[in-house]
């Protein structure tokens, strides 16, 4: 899901498409019928993030959650 906030910031809520930061770095998450299709999906989400100067929120990344002070968004 892509959210455009009133502040102009874009958030990409990846849910189970990207579990953790490692998945952005080329390590596929979960069970995939096609790693190629999975990587294409990840690249599309990264493209949205980069083109709209946004941020991707991963559904299961405890480190990201902790970096945000125990909140997904401040």
How much is the pLDDT for 23? 86
CA distance 19 to 29: 6
Structural domains counted in the chain: 1
Range of the domain at 53: 2-67
Say if residues 24 and 46 touch (Cβ distance below 8 Å).
yes
In a domain, 48, yes or no: yes
- pTM, to two decimals: 0.79
Burial of 58 (0-12, 13-18, 19+ CB in 10 A): buried
**pLDDT by 10s per residue, the chain, length 74:** 999 989 888 999 988 888 888 888 888 877 778 989 999 999 999 999 999 989 998 878 888 888 878 776 65
In a domain, 72, yes or no: no
């Amino acid at each position: 899901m892509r959210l455009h906030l009133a502040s102009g910031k874009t958030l990409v809520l990846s849910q189970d498409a990207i579990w953790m930061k490692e998945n952005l770095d080329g390590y596929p998450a979960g069970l995939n019928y096609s790693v190629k299709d999975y990587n294409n999906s990840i690249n599309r989400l990264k493209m949205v993030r980069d083109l709209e100067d946004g941020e991707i929120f991963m559904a299961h990344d405890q480190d990201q959650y902790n970096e945000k002070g125990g909140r997904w968004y401040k």
